[in-house]
Amino acid sequence: MAIIKRYGKPDLFITFTCNPKWKEITENLNPGESPSDRPDLVCRVFKMKLKCFLDDIFKHGVLGKVISHVQLETAEDIDSLISAEIPDQTVDPELFEIIKTCMIHGPCGILNPNSSCIKDGICTKKFPKEFNPHTVATFNGYPHYRRLDNGRVVVIKGNQVDNRWVVPYNPWLSKKYQAHINVEACMSIKSVKYLYKYVYKGHDCAHVLINESLDHDEINTYLDCRFVSAPEALWRIFEYSISDMSHTIIRLQVHLPDNQRVYFNEGEERVAIDCAAQRDTHLTAWFKLNAEINEARQYSYVEIPYHFVFDGKNCKWKVRQRGSDKVIVRMYKVNLTSEVFFLRLLLLHVKGAMSFEDLRTIHGTVFNTFREACYRLGLLQDDIEWRNTLTEAVATRMPKQTSNCFPLY
């Protein structure tokens, strides 16, 4: 969410799924084997395809140059990259076969009421969609793509389906990679919050019922277990990354004097406290940096990591040599009603502070609390800072957290 706060919402949401029928897989199977018998082969091929896929997007710019704050705003922009229609078989038979094989949803509903996407009799993916003569760019969620009622149909599992069942795709990517590649235009940050939960939701789970005798003890024999499929197991054995980020997110500590976090093993509390007292945090090291280097005083706390690098071993800031374009900085969230919140607020505005007392010193007057210093600096005299806080919450928190944040003001 720190990336979104800096660069704005994404333009595209893309999912890329392995196709077990790729020739790189099928041509390397031993007699009698199927792709499910060779998760090692499937993982290696998909890893290579994924690297090529990402190079096409980020290095070769097949979907456009990756530039911050350049967005898909009109229906024409969306139509230039995304289609949700069955291709003309006579014009492009290869693309037609790919879309027919990989990009048709279901069918579900009355055509297949037992489909896995059906919940309470309704498709959770909201298929079939409505016919649309034109793409409509909404401002909340995904757009309504053009789906002409032009009579084009394909037969899937004995059922005729039309454009209402097509999963949005990019023709160039689908044709090159011959796989399920869902390409969606993002009109809000909702997709990012979905992606965050998708990546960090934890491991897949399975319910296991152990049946050893006729005298069933359903409580003791019913287990919740982590489920690891063969491809995931091989992916981890090969040490392929589960997720990657384009930028390094630097999280700066915010704490009151002598209130920094201390981590320790049980029984080693005193040693940990003594060590923490001798080591600087990001914040206290920033105070020392300002006292030692005049150049650093022109930057606020959140600006420092763009120009200096924190040396964790020696607990001090050093001049950054390179890589500032791939760095995004944020401070840890804090309790909105505590004194540390006002310390955090000062750190966003005050430059060159050399101590906690220096932060509380406004125009030569040392205030007793950070809250009083904020008032004297004019940060709390109107609703602007509260609005900024809510705006930050909207960008970085989940809906329920944002709702709970609002009544505090």
Q: What is the pLDDT of residue 129?
A: 95
Residue 137 has pLDDT above 90, yes or no: no
Q: What is the pLDDT of residue 210?
A: 59
First to last CA, the chain: 23
Enumerate residues 6+ apart whose C-beta is below 8 A from 185: 11, 12, 13, 72, 78, 81, 82, 137, 142, 143
Q: Which residue has the higher pLDDT, 1 or 279?
A: 279
Model confidence pLDDT, tens digit, residues 26-74: 999 999 999 999 999 999 999 999 999 999 999 999 988 765 545 677 8
For residue 95, give the DSSP letter: H
Phi, psi of 176 (to 5 degrees): -75, -45
Residue 150 has pLDDT above 90, yes or no: yes
pLDDT grade for 142, boundaries at 50, 70 and 90: confident
pLDDT grade for 333, boundaries at 50, 70 and 90: confident
Angle at 62 (CA atoms; ends 60, 63), nearest 5 degrees: 130
Tokens in use for 129? 């969609």
The crossing angle, in degrees rounded to 10, of helices 230-237 and 39-58 is 70
pTM to 2 decimal places: 0.81
Query: What is the residue-averaged pLDDT of the chain?
Result: 87
Give me the count of residues in the chain.
409
Residue 218 has pLDDT above 70, yes or no: no
pLDDT grade for 307, boundaries at 50, 70 and 90: very high
**The CA-based dihedral angle spanning residues 100, 102, 104, 107, taken in that order and rounded to the nearest 10 degrees:** 100
Residue 108 has pLDDT above 80, yes or no: yes
Residue 208 has pLDDT above 70, yes or no: no
* Highest mean pLDDT out of 266-270, 353-357, 398-402: 353-357
Model confidence pLDDT, tens digit, residues 158-201: 999 999 999 999 999 999 999 999 999 988 777 777 777 777 77
Q: What is the pLDDT of residue 209?
A: 61
Residue 17 has pLDDT above 90, yes or no: yes
Alpha-carbon distance of 43 to 15, in angstroms, equals 16
Enumerate residues 6+ apart whose C-beta is below 8 A from 306: 299, 320, 324, 327, 329
Residue 214 has pLDDT above 60, yes or no: no
Query: Please, are residues 327 and 310 in contact by the beta-carbon 8 Å criterion?
Result: no
Q: What is the mean pLDDT of residues 325-341?
A: 89
Q: What is the pLDDT of residue 69?
A: 47
Residue 220 has pLDDT above 60, yes or no: no
Q: What is the pLDDT of residue 199?
A: 73
Residue 409 has pLDDT above 60, yes or no: no
pLDDT grade for 85, boundaries at 50, 70 and 90: very high
Model confidence pLDDT, tens digit, residues 236-256: 999 999 888 888 999 999 999
Residue 330 has pLDDT above 50, yes or no: yes
